[in-house]
C-alpha cells in the first residue's frame, strides 16, 4: 500500500532497508552455533553461559515476596501451577490474617482454601500448608529446618520447594531449583537431555559449580520469563544466541 507523500524512489529505498534489517536480525552464523566436541569445549561453553547470565541478571533473586523462611515456604507451595505475581497478591493478606505458624496449624482446611482460592488447586495447597505448619511445630520446634533431608519430610516440600527455601532463605546450596523455566532452558541449551526434573537437577549439579547453584537457578528463571520464553523465545535479542543450537530457535 502506497504511503502519502512518498515518492517511488523513497518507497523502494524503505523496502530495501526493511529487507536488510530482517536479514541482519535473523542471520545467525553457523560457526557460532557449533556444538562442542570435547569435555574442555563443553566446560568452556558452560562457563560462557554462566558469565552471560550473570551480566544479564547480576542481582537476581527469588520473585516470591517473603520476610522469613516460613513465609517463603508457604509462598512456594502456593506457586505450584500459579504465577509468582498472583501469589504475591495473595500472601500479604494471608500473612496478616495468619501471622504465625501456629495460626496456620490451627486454621481449618476449608477456610484456608477460601483464602488462597485464586492460586488454584486450593484444597491440596491448603492441606499442604496446614500439614507443613503442624510438622514444623511438632518436629522442628517451630523453625523451618536447614537440611534437605529434613525439608523433604514436610508436606508440600519436594526438592524444588526445598531448594528454593534452603537457597533463598538460608543461603544453603543443596541442589538446583528446577521449575518449568529451568527445565525448558536446560534442554534448549543442551545442559540436560532429561525430561524428569530430578534427573535434570542431577545433570545441572554436575555441570554448574556448587558455588553458583543458587544464583544460577534465579538467573535462569528470570531469563526464562523475560527472554527464553516457552512459545516465542526472543532469540534475535538474546545474548546467549551464539551459544545456543536449540531446534526451536526463532533466529
The set of catalytic residues is 160, 179
Residue 247 in grid coordinates: 531446534
* Of 235, 134, 143, the residue nearest 243 (C-alpha): 235
Residue 67 · residue 92 · CB < 8 Å: no
Question: Dihedral of CA 223/226/232/235: which sign?
Answer: negative
Report the interhelical angle of 69-78 vs 84-97 (nearest 10°): 130
Report the interhelical angle of 180-188 vs 213-226 (nearest 10°): 90
Question: Dihedral of CA 225/229/231/235: which sign?
Answer: positive
Please report how many Cα atoms fall inside a 13 Å half-sphere around the Cα of residue 84, on the Cβ side.
Answer: 14
Amino acid at each position: 500500500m502506497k504511503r502519502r507523500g512518498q515518492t517511488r524512489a523513497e518507497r523502494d529505498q524503505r523496502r530495501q532497508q526493511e529487507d536488510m534489517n530482517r536479514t541482519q536480525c535473523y542471520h545467525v552464523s553457523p560457526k557460532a552455533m557449533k556444538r562442542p566436541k570435547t569435555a574442555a569445549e563443553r566446560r568452556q561453553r558452560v562457563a560462557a553461559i554462566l558469565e552471560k547470565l550473570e551480566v544479564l541478571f547480576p542481582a537476581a533473586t527469588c520473585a516470591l515476596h517473603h520476610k522469613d523462611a516460613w513465609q517463603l515456604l508457604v509462598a512456594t507451595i502456593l506457586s505450584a501451577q500459579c504465577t509468582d505475581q498472583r501469589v504475591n497478591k495473595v500472601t500479604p493478606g494471608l500473612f496478616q490474617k495468619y501471622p504465625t505458624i501456629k495460626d496456620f496449624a490451627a486454621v481449618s482446611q476449608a477456610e484456608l482454601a477460601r483464602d488462597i482460592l485464586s492460586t488454584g488447586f486450593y484444597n491440596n495447597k491448603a492441606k499442604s500448608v496446614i500439614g507443613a505448619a503442624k510438622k514444623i511445630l511438632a518436629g522442628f520446634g517451630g523453625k523451618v529446618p536447614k537440611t534437605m533431608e529434613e525439608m523433604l519430610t514436610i508436606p508440600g516440600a519436594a526438592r524444588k520447594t526445598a531448594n528454593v527455601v534452603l537457597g533463598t532463605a538460608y543461603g544453603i546450596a543443596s541442589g538446583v531449583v528446577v521449575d518449568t523455566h529451568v527445565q525448558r532452558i536446560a534442554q534448549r541449551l543442551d545442559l540436560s537431555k532429561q525430561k524428569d526434573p530430578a534427573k535434570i537437577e542431577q545433570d545441572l549439579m554436575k555441570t554448574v559449580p556448587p558455588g553458583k547453584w543458587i544464583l544460577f537457578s534465579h538467573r535462569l528463571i528470570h531469563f526464562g520469563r523475560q527472554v527464553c520464553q516457552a512459545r516465542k523465545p526472543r532469540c534475535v535479542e538474546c545474548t546467549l544466541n551464539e551459544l545456543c543450537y536449540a531446534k526451536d530457535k526463532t533466529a
